[in-house]
Amino acid sequence: MIWSLLYSLKRLWRVKSRLLIMGFFLALGFSGWLTGESAQTSIKAYLAQNAKQILSADITVSVRRELKPDELKTLETLTQNQGQLAKGYEFFAMITAGEDTRLALVRVIDDSYPYYGELKLDSPFVAKDLRNGNLWAYEEFKSLIDLKLNQKIKLGDSEFSVSAFVSEDKTQTFRLASLAPRIFIHLSDLEKTNLIKFGSTFTTTYFLKANPETDVEDLAANLKKALPDPGVDISNYISLPDEESSPTQRLADFLGLTSLVTLLFSALSLFYLIQVWSLEQQKERALLSTFGVTRFQLFFVELVQSLFVALTSTLISVGVVLLLKPIIETGLKNWMNQSFDLAVGWQEILLILGSQFILLIALSNPFSKSSQNSTSQLLKNNFVTQQSGVLRFAPLFLLLWPYAILASQSLRNGTYFFGGLLFISLSLVFFGRISINFLSKLKWSSWKSSLAVKSLRRQSTASWAFLFTVGLSSSLLNLIPQIQSSVESLLKFDEVQSRPSLFMFDIQSEQWPDLQAYLNEKNIQPTATSPLVRARILKVNGENFERKETAGQFQSREEEESSRSRNRGVNITYRSYLQNGEKIVSGDEFPLTYNSQQKYAFVSIEKRYAGRIGVDIGDIITYDIQGIEIEAEVKNLREVKWSRFEPNFFVLMQDGLLNDAPQTILSSLPYLDSNVKNEAIKTLANRFPNISVIDVERLMESIVQNLEKIGGALRLMTYLTLLTGMMTIIFLLSAESQRRAFEIHLIKILGADSSSILTNRLTEVLILGSISVLVGVSTSFAIAYLVVDQVFQVSFTPNFLPAIGIILTVLAVCWAITSFSSRLQLKKQSYAFLKKEE
């Protein structure tokens, strides 16, 4: 053992520069990972620390209706002596200020709100009393409708005065799509607005500030048991409600996933580096084994070396992250409107140290004994027979899968991410093989090209390492601009024209004739008018459909989504036709009109929603619709294009059964000229104050703006990926020239002039570079198409400019590095070089 340690230390000193290079490349990848990890940890820590503020209470009980008297009694009984209880509402409504009308998210609060967190008002001198017709508004209204302090605004049937602007709301978290900014009114002023009545869409929330001695989780669990309706949502700050934290966490998860790519590049470089230096190392091992050194001792030497590299790399990685800290913190603040303290904790440091150590050991595989390189062969020859083939990279990719799942905390997202990388890699393997095989079948008149193609075909490990690195880098680099350009195309005029201009909800049935008359008068034809019937699921196949309980935090995002879908009521529509954006994807079509002879009514369920609530074709669902039980059979599953911004529903029932049920109406107005649109908004707000109107174009703008913010986060990771990718490519190319030095000098001695040798090297690198970058960029178009189509549900608009830029840049880098490093080699004395090699 002592010998091993002494030998390890001596060896460390001898190959220190080499190990430092390895440490540098390892650090390059792990810096990205550590950045992603620490951003993720900081965001999660922020959410945990601010859970009470976000919830603004210890426990909240929310329901999209008023609590029934018995439910309220249960709530009051259970919370008696447990703390203070306050009531609030939230709903959308139109506000009119002067000539402008806008949708607002109205939060109705009492004096005690918020129990935790803070609503920062813009001036300490403003009247903070909300009673008596006062209103606080988000500052966004200043720019949206030029709202001023003390200005009168109309909300429902009542008039309010703006007594303060809210400059910071700690109860609000980052959201991708915010339909409208918030306003706050007092509970005592709600009634006169006349906005909450039958059919209105609103949420009633009870906020509980628990006594210090109250066991919050225990009380929340008791409330869940006592209020069994899954539509009643009970949240506590310890398990933060997912709707609040989810978008922010997902962004953090995505950052984590992107940073894994830099890790992959780093591993590829390292793998290649180990290959390049493996001859000497294997020779040394072979020599030591002839002296009787055991495999365990050799392994020990490897351990010490790996530990040294991992430590060096960890130090560099931490240094890089600390350098990037201010940039990332500013970025996060910009994207999420909240300050984050990016901390690199011991946990992360130990995690990357451990991961690097394991990675190094796995890559160098000190226990392996190559069957093709016996000890005697190793000592005699000047080259190692490399196990050829792409399968050498398989462990690297397989390691990435669990990491991706861990980083995204989602089997589905992690697997999608891994699947994407696998798709790119398999495409590279497939097209790479086909192209190289094709090229090698051609008859090359020039030895330079012929040798280049043979080299590509036969030096597979080096070729594949290069192909993967360049291909994956190019693909990832092109992916983000492609997705971005397609999403931005939502704002293009023809796209805007194909969508409705206004989306109206909470229309009372009795208002519909008047509304239609007004629209007829203005010659506007409403589209996709749909009734909305509120219901809740009682049973599925006779089994009670219960609230989904989990102990503590959700284990995965899928669990979280499923729980959210179950623990909420459901809106059902009925129609005798399918809309343009709807398509049946499985099951049978059914007559869209109900026949009283049917045993069950037929329903069509949106495919993803069906998955989340766990129902399938043939299942019988019992709905409670205003106290009446209705049984329905799931006849088919539908896909719905939500991005059309038309009234769409998870559940579509046959026409004829629910027509007399209490209902409201949703409708949309087709593309309108902006003057007509503004006038319509104003008139609707005046004549039908309870109807909420969403300006679809404005909503799209807000989504794109938020996407732009997320794009910023992604771009930072992309730049880091780009840097790692480029460094990896540059390193691979120069290492390849070094590895091929022997060949360069031999060919020179055999009579080739320098320019021919350079042409040979460039031909080889540019062929491989072209295959990699073309396949990489093409696969990114395919992946971008899928993401845009499936996630954003918009038509894919390819943007060829960044793709061309990436192709040219990568090829230019290949050319420049190969020329430079080959020229350096060619300047050396070939004979002296080869003699030295002996």
Partner 1 sequence: MIEIKNLKKTFSTRQGPLEILKGINFEIKKGEIIAITGFSGSGKSTLLGLLAGLDRPQSGEILYDGKNLNQLSEPEAQKFRAQNLSLIFQNHYLIPHLTALENVVLPLQILGLPFESQQAENLLTQVGLGDRLNHYPSELSGGESQRVAIARGLIIKPLVLLADEPTGSLDTETGNKVMKLYFDLVRQNKLTSVIVTHNQELASLCDRELKLSQGMIAE
Q: Which chain residues interact with partner 1 by CB under 8 A?
A: 372, 380-383, 385, 447, 450-451, 454-455, 458-459, 742-743, 746-747, 749-753, 756, 829-832, 834-835, 837-838
CB of 384 to partner 1, least distance (A): 9
> Distance between CA 176 and CA 191 in Å, rounded?
32
CB of 743 to partner 1, least distance (A): 6
> Distance between CA 280 and CA 297 in Å, rounded?
18
> Distance between CA 566 and CA 233 in Å, rounded?
10
Q: Which is nearer to partner 1, 22 or 451 (CB)?
A: 451
Q: Which is nearer to partner 1, 296 or 447 (CB)?
A: 447
> Distance between CA 148 and CA 155 in Å, rounded?
16
Q: Which is nearer to partner 1, 177 or 749 (CB)?
A: 749
Q: Which is nearer to partner 1, 683 or 754 (CB)?
A: 754
> Distance between CA 677 and CA 267 in Å, rounded?
56
Tell me which long-range contacts 553-561 makes (C-beta under 8 A, separation of at least 24): 553/239, 554/242, 555/409, 556/409, 556/410, 556/411, 556/412, 557/250, 557/253, 557/408, 557/409, 557/410, 557/412, 557/413, 558/410, 558/411, 558/412, 560/242, 560/246, 561/612
Q: Which is nearer to partner 1, 524 or 762 (CB)?
A: 762
CB of 382 to partner 1, least distance (A): 6
Residues 6 or more apart whose Cβ sits within 8 Å of residue 697: 496, 499, 501
Q: Which is nearer to partner 1, 203 or 449 (CB)?
A: 449
Query: Dihedral (C-alpha) 330, 334, 339, 345: value to the nearest 10 degrees?
Result: -50
- Polymer length of the chain: 838
Q: Which is nearer to partner 1, 544 or 829 (CB)?
A: 829
β-bridge mates for residue 186, sequence order: 109
Residue 655 DSSP label? B
User: In the chain, how long is the greatest CA-to-CA distance?
Assistant: 100
Check if the beta carbon of residue 691 is closer than 8 Å to that of residue 507.
yes
Closest C-alpha among 560, 263, 254, 561 to residue 407: 254
CB of 456 to partner 1, least distance (A): 9
Q: Which is nearer to partner 1, 192 or 454 (CB)?
A: 454
CB of 739 to partner 1, least distance (A): 11
Are β-strands 83-97 and 152-155 bridged in parallel, bridged antiparallel, or unpaired?
A: antiparallel
CB of 762 to partner 1, least distance (A): 17
CB of 828 to partner 1, least distance (A): 11
> Distance between CA 347 and CA 37 in Å, rounded?
10
Q: Which is nearer to partner 1, 433 or 522 (CB)?
A: 433
CB of 752 to partner 1, least distance (A): 5
Q: Retrieve residue 717's tokens.
A: 């990771």
CB of 831 to partner 1, least distance (A): 4
Check if the beta carbon of residue 106 is closer than 8 Å to that of residue 90.
yes
CB of 440 to partner 1, least distance (A): 12
Q: Which is nearer to partner 1, 2 or 750 (CB)?
A: 750
Rg of the chain in Å (alpha carbons): 33
Closest C-alpha among 315, 311, 313 to residue 270: 313
Residues 6 or more apart whose Cβ sits within 8 Å of residue 14: none
CB of 753 to partner 1, least distance (A): 6
H/E element, 47: helix 16-49
State the amino acid at position 810 in one-letter form: V
CB of 756 to partner 1, least distance (A): 7
Q: Which is nearer to partner 1, 754 or 809 (CB)?
A: 754
Q: Which is nearer to partner 1, 568 or 740 (CB)?
A: 740
> Distance between CA 565 and CA 558 in Å, rounded?
11
Q: Retrieve residue 509's tokens.
A: 């049935």
CB of 450 to partner 1, least distance (A): 7
Closest C-alpha among 461, 459, 454, 457 to residue 394: 461
Q: Which is nearer to partner 1, 81 or 445 (CB)?
A: 445
